[in-house]
Amino acid sequence: MKLKTSIFALCLSLCVLNAQAQIAEFENLQVENQPTTVTTNEINVEEDIHDDAPRISIVGGTSHAFFAPSHVFSPDPRRAWIYSAIFPGLGQTYNRQFWKLPILYGAAAGFVYAISWNQGHFRDAQGAFVDLVSGDPTATRWHYFVPPGMTPEQFLELRGADWFAGVLERRRDFYRHWRDLSIILTVGLYFLAMVDAYVDARLFSFTMSQDLSMRIAPAMITQKNNSQNSTLLNSAYGLQWSFRF
Number of independent structural domains in the chain? 1
Residue 112 placed within a domain: yes
Whole-number Å distance between alpha carbons of 12 and 28: 25
Amino acid at 54: P
217 CB-side CA count, 13 A = 8
Whole-number Å distance between alpha carbons of 240 and 215: 8
pLDDT tens digits for range 140-193: 899 999 988 889 889 988 888 999 999 999 999 999 999 999 999 999 999 999
Provide the residue range defining the domain that includes 122: 99-202
pLDDT tens digits for range 91-115: 999 999 999 999 999 999 999 999 9
Residue 171 placed within a domain: yes
Whole-number Å distance between alpha carbons of 143 and 92: 49
Residue 31 placed within a domain: no
Prediction pTM value: 0.59
More confident residue, 40 or 232: 232
Cite the DSSP H helix spans in 38-160. Answer: 45-48, 77-86, 90-94, 100-134, 152-159
Residue 61 placed within a domain: no
Residue 109 placed within a domain: yes
